[in-house]
Amino acid sequence: MKHYLNFICNALSGNLKGADIYYRQHKDLIQSSAQKVASHFPVSLEPIYRGVLLEPELTNTGILVADTYRQFLSFSAKRSIAEVFADKEHDMAFMIRIHCPNCQGFLIEHTPTCEEILFHYSWSEPLGLERYLGTEIHVVKKQQEVMLVQHHRSFKLLPVEPGISRKHDYRM
């Protein structure tokens, strides 16, 4: 379980590169721990969402080709949260707009299987993540974080209108 907690805490605290390397090193232990947690704290398998900003040439087909580098992906159980991440006009997209002024926002909707889920926000309290993440745990809960194994699959992209997040009151 220590490998699982180490991975989850690194991923949730934003150390994505470190979490990715650690996952590659301890993949089997992390996945088996995630399955044990899921068996004790089952979640309903409903659609989850991911908001992305992409350069136009990456979206010609309407399909996001699998990222073979990342071992896991972050989603939200709440569509409105993903819409914020997909909105190129939202304040959080400031740096992306500088490097990719023509980027477009897209939403990915996916219904996971039990085997895909590495972490679900509802597991935060049973796992005692507040003692590791401190006040950052409120972000995990507010964003309704769901982390999946990246099975190198492709996802259908749903276009998002710029400014869509204005209808949501989302602040960190």
Half-sphere exposure of 14 (CA within 13 A, CB side): 4
Burial of 79 (0-12, 13-18, 19+ CB in 10 A): middle
pTM of the model: 0.88
Q: What's the confidence (pLDDT) of residue 65?
A: 66
- Do 84 and 142 form a contact (C-beta atoms < 8 A)? no
Domain locations in the chain?
Answer: 2-166
Average pLDDT, the chain: 88
Q: How many angstroms separate the CA atoms of 85 and 50, rounded?
A: 8
pLDDT in tens, 118-134: 999 999 999 999 999 98
- The secondary structure of the chain in percent helix, strand, coil, rounded to multiples of 5, reads 45, 20, 35
Report the share of the chain in percent with pLDDT over 90. 56
Return d(Cα 157, Cα 73) in angstroms, integer: 15
